[in-house]
Chain A
């Protein structure tokens, strides 16, 4: 079945450091891929998404490229801020039109001043 694996956290960085959170997936067909972010005490919100191979999703300085050859969708940001401290979830939606999301386990990011 479909699955998503993320790098384990927590990840602790200093402000302005480079961020990478790894995400790999297993899926049949052509899934859509997502990164959701959960700030403390809040629900999840979409950060970015990509719906086909080689697409790059981007938002708020974050980027991720849909790599079908490596089944990956790694999240990157060139310079993190304290306000980026949150839990980040990689997710996929299968190629059938159900809209169901399969989530990774989440990666906690803490950015220190």
Chain B
């Protein structure tokens, strides 16, 4: 089984709808991250969490919210989806033992299309 899973893998929704993307991990890591990937722009950090009670905004948090329900689960919500949120969304995890050299482990991604 995959260590980092994301659901759904693909989603098409309409402008104004609320949508939640879910991420679960079995690696036992404290740190979890949400990124979005746009063609030609690499990945940009939306939110990150160091533990259940520690959630931080990333570079592009406007229009998004998150919930860390447990150490293993980190959800990303779009309260009112808009077309420019169409992108590929990745969840990632890392432990906190190595500092800046920590490796991040990525899920398979969720492709979101907002019509």
| Bound Cα distance from A67 to B55, whole angstroms | 34
Count of chain A residues near B, Cβ 8 A: 28
Are A42 and B108 closer than 8 Å at their CB atoms? yes
For A42, the closest partner residue in chain B by CB is: B108
Q: Out of A41, A43, A93, A99, name the residue touching B106 (CB < 8 Å).
A: A43
Q: Which of B23-64 contact A (CB under 8 A)?
A: 31, 33, 40-45, 48, 58
Q: Assess the B42–A93 pair: CB atoms within 8 A.
A: no
Known contacts: A89-B43, A100-B58, A101-B45. The answer to whether A43 contacts B100 by CB under 8 A is no
Asked whether any CB of chain A lies closer than 8 Å to the CB of B102, the reply is: yes
Stretch at the interface among A14-22, A68-76, A78-86, A102-110: A102-110
| Contacting residues, chain B, for A45 (C-beta < 8 A) | 105-106
Residue from B31, B43, B92 having most chain A Cβ neighbours under 10 A: B43
- A104 with B100: CB separation less than 8 A: no
Our pick among A30, A34, A41, A103 for the contact of B42 (Cβ within 8 Å) is A103
**How far is A98 from B57 in the complex, measured between Cα atoms in Å?**
12
Q: Main secondary structure on chain A at its contact with chain B?
A: loop
Closest residue of A by beta carbon distance from B94: A99
B43's closest neighbor in chain A, by CB?
Answer: A103
Q: How far does the Cβ of A3 sit from chain B's closest Cβ, in whole Å?
A: 10
* Interface check A96, CB cutoff 8 A: yes
Which residues does chain B contribute within 8 Å of A105, judged by CB atoms? 40-42
Determine whether the beta carbon of A96 is less than 8 Å from that of B108: no
Q: Which 3 pairs between the two chains have the least Cβ-Cβ distance?
A: A43-B106, A103-B42, A51-B101
Contacts A43-B90, A97-B96, A98-B48 supplied; 8 other A-B pairs, CB < 8 Å: A31-B100, A41-B108, A44-B92, A49-B101, A89-B42, A99-B33, A99-B102, A99-B104
